[in-house]
Amino acid sequence: MAERWDVIVTGLGAMGSAAARELARRGARVLGLDRYAPPHAHGSTHGHTRIIREAYFEHPTYVPLVQRAGDLWEALAEEVGERLIVRTGGLTIGPRDGALVSGALHSATRHGLPHELLPSEDVAQRYPALAPDPGSVGLYEPRAGVLFPEACVRSLLSCAARDGAELRRGEAMLAWRVEGGVVRVATAMGEHVAERLILTLGPWLPEMLEGTVIPLTVERQMQHWFGARDHAERFSPETLPVALWETPDHVFYTIPDFGDGIKVAVHHQGEATDPQRVRRTVSEEEDARARDLVARYLPDGAGELRARAVCLYTNTPDGHFLIDRHPLHRQVVIASPCSGHGFKFATAIGEIVAMLSLDQDTGADLSLFKLRW
Ligand SMILES: Cc1cc2nc3c(=O)[nH]c(=O)nc-3n(C[C@H](O)[C@H](O)[C@H](O)COP(=O)(O)OP(=O)(O)OC[C@H]3O[C@@H](n4cnc5c(N)ncnc54)[C@H](O)[C@@H]3O)c2cc1C
């Protein structure tokens, strides 16, 4: 007889590791499965750093959620005794009436977040590493910063295991079905049976939706790291905030040098792909484009190219998250497509999906994240 679990979590990346941890903490009998051994560099959760910010340009609904997530990251860091989060402060830079600055300002005022709006000259004077476009502005928020995704996932998984979750690395779900009121998950090792299933498969989700089609797209993204050409001290996390930029050609972000180099990455504008056929190498032309961006906006930062990595976004049609029950099977919760901005929320999303799958009231406003396409 197959062992029967309360919940099976498939995919133990950012969202799944947080869900498994939260379920185990609540005393549920949890089985976690992953096709690889997270943290790994095949999906969406690698590259040393992720930005956390509260003045959320995408929509004010995210603000309470990111605040809850930030508290949970800090509590986790204390629990495991590791550096998981650093609040460097953050800037949203662009035209005053552009989507980023106006959206961030809207969230900041709506939720009473501490912030300052600086003209571009003040940004450049305060942070001499940065060279914003003349006429642009920078919204500064002190509580933004970075998370270290690999250490975060490792910590979540170790807490989950400590609290009794059974975690199986290298065991991929091949298929699932709901039958006789339970969920049956097939892997190469056999069949697992549970009351509930959580699908946190990141970019592999579209191939595992069994019986329904949700219009998700997987997008190839790059991350580049450069050494400083001059004034290395201007790029340290003690002096430089994380920054999100809206410029005529791109939305991109920059992260100070935590020892791996100054990080730059364009947000979206990547090619459509999937985890099987994604081009994992980066061309010289792509390196040159990243360097041009740094040379224009952080001129002293365009030193030697230290590293680059390809990563994957899983996008919904409107760029918001999808956190909901499967349309045909209410025992199944879907919670991975985060359109390239989900990592910071993982602890809060883990808590929400754990509660959804245990039929508890989450108390969170999930209206923006419902399946609606
Ligand atoms: C370049 C880049 C930069 C980003 N920057 C930021 C940022 O600054 N701030 C921010 O908040 N967010 C950011 N994001 C988004 C964020 O990183 C993602 O939303 C988040 O990491 C996604 O986590 P996930 O758990 O959905 O996916 P993943 O972490 O990829 O996890 C999916 C897991 O499912 C497993 N899996 C797949 N198929 C199966 C199967 N059949 N059976 C079992 N297991 C399976 C995989 O092995 C994997 O471990 C960025 C993303 C990228 C790519």
Taking only the tens of pLDDT, the chain with its 373 residues reads 567 999 999 999 999 999 999 999 999 999 999 999 999 999 999 999 999 999 999 999 999 999 999 999 999 999 999 999 999 999 999 999 999 999 999 999 999 999 999 999 999 999 999 999 999 999 999 999 999 999 999 999 999 999 999 999 999 999 999 999 999 999 999 999 999 999 999 999 999 998 888 999 999 999 999 999 999 999 999 999 999 999 999 999 999 999 999 999 999 999 999 999 999 999 999 999 999 999 999 999 999 999 999 999 999 999 999 999 999 999 999 998 999 999 999 999 999 999 999 999 999 999 999 998 8
Q: State which of 21, 45, 218 you would mutate to test the pocket of ligand 1, scoring each by most atoms of that ligand within 8 A of its C-beta.
A: 45
User: From ligand 1's centre to the CA of 93, what distance in Å?
Assistant: 26
**Residue 287: its pLDDT value, please?**
98
Q: Are 206 and 292 in contact (CB under 8 A)?
A: no
Ligand 1 neighbour 51 (Cβ under 6 A): yes
Find the angle CA(113)-CA(18)-CA(207) to the nearest 5 degrees. 110
Ligand 1 neighbour 73 (Cβ under 6 A): no
User: From ligand 1's centre to the CA of 180, what distance in Å?
Assistant: 32
Ligand 1 neighbour 16 (Cβ under 6 A): yes
Q: Which residues are catalytic?
A: 46, 49-50, 263, 267, 311, 344
Which strand (E) or helix (H) includes residue 215? Answer: none
Torsion of CA 25, 30, 31, 33, to 10 degrees: -50
Ligand 1 neighbour 202 (Cβ under 6 A): yes
**Residue 314: its pLDDT value, please?**
98
**Cα–Cα distance, 317 to 324 (Å, whole number):** 15
pTM of the shown model: 0.98
User: From ligand 1's centre to the CA of 274, what distance in Å?
Assistant: 13
User: From ligand 1's centre to the CA of 335, what distance in Å?
Assistant: 11
**Cα–Cα distance, 187 to 54 (Å, whole number):** 40
**Cα–Cα distance, 142 to 119 (Å, whole number):** 17
**Residue 212: its pLDDT value, please?**
86
**Residue 213: its pLDDT value, please?**
85
Q: What rounded mean pLDDT belongs to the chain?
A: 97
**Residue 1: its pLDDT value, please?**
59
Ligand 1 neighbour 247 (Cβ under 6 A): no
